[in-house]
Structure 1
Amino acid sequence: MAEKNNPIYKFANAVYYVLDTPVTYIREKFVVPNQKKYPWYHQKYRRVPTIDECYTDDVVCYTEANCQFMRDKSVDDEILFILRSRFEQCAFYHGDDDYLCDDLKKTYFDAAAAWFTKYGDMGIGLNAKNAYMKQKHRMIWERRHGPVGSGMRDQATKV
Structure 2
Amino acid sequence: MPDFDKDAYPEPPRKTPAPNKQSALPDPALILTKLFYYSVDLPVTTFRGIVDTVRSNNKSVYYHQKFRRVPDLTTCEEGDYLCYYEADMQWRRDYKVDQEILKIVQERMRACHQREGNSYQQNCAKEIQQFTDASREFQSRYGDLGAYANSRKCLMKQKQRMMEAQAQSA
The equivalent of 1:23 in structure 2 is none
5+ residue gaps, structure 1, are 1-30, 147-157
The equivalent of 1:55 in structure 2 is 77
The equivalent of 1:90 in structure 2 is 112
Compute the displacement of 1:42 (Å).
2.8
**4+ runs deviating over 3 angstroms:** none
Look up the SS of the partner of 1:97 in the other structure.
helix
The equivalent of 1:134 in structure 2 is 157
Q: How far apart, in 1, do the equivalents of 2:148 and 2:139 lie?
A: 15
**Correspondence for 2:103 among 67, 76, 81:** 81
Query: Is residue 86 of structure 2 the alignment partner of residue 64 of structure 1?
Result: yes
Look up the SS of the partner of 1:45 in the other structure.
coil
The equivalent of 1:149 in structure 2 is none
The equivalent of 1:110 in structure 2 is 133
Amino acid at match of 2:88: N
TM-score normalized by the length of structure 2: 0.61
The equivalent of 2:40 in structure 1 is none
Residues 23-38 of structure 1: pairs in structure 2 closer than 5 A = none
Task: Please give the per-residue CA displacement for 1:5-56, whole angstroms capped at 9, x wherever unaligned.
Answer: xxxxxxxxxxxxxxxxxxxxxxxxxx9xx999xxxx7322111110001122
Task: Please give the per-residue CA displacement for 1:39-96, whole angstroms capped at 9, x wherever unaligned.
Answer: xx73221111100011221111000000000000000000000000000011011111
Amino acid at match of 1:69: W
TM-score normalized by the length of structure 1: 0.65
Equivalent pairs, count: 111
What RMSD, in angstroms, separates the aligned Cα atoms of the two structures? Answer: 1.8
Look up the SS of the partner of 2:64 in the other structure.
coil
Q: How far apart, in 1, do the equivalents of 2:160 and 2:111 lie?
A: 38
Amino acid at match of 1:45: F
Greater Rg over alpha carbons, structure: 2
The equivalent of 1:123 in structure 2 is 146
Look up the SS of the partner of 1:129 in the other structure.
helix
Q: How far apart, in 2, do the equivalents of 1:133 and 1:49 lie?
A: 17
Query: Is residue 166 of structure 2 the alignment partner of residue 143 of structure 1?
Result: yes
Compute the displacement of 1:102 (Å).
0.6
Q: How far apart, in 1, do the equivalents of 2:66 and 2:163 lie?
A: 34
The equivalent of 2:64 in structure 1 is 42
Look up the SS of the partner of 2:118 in the other structure.
coil
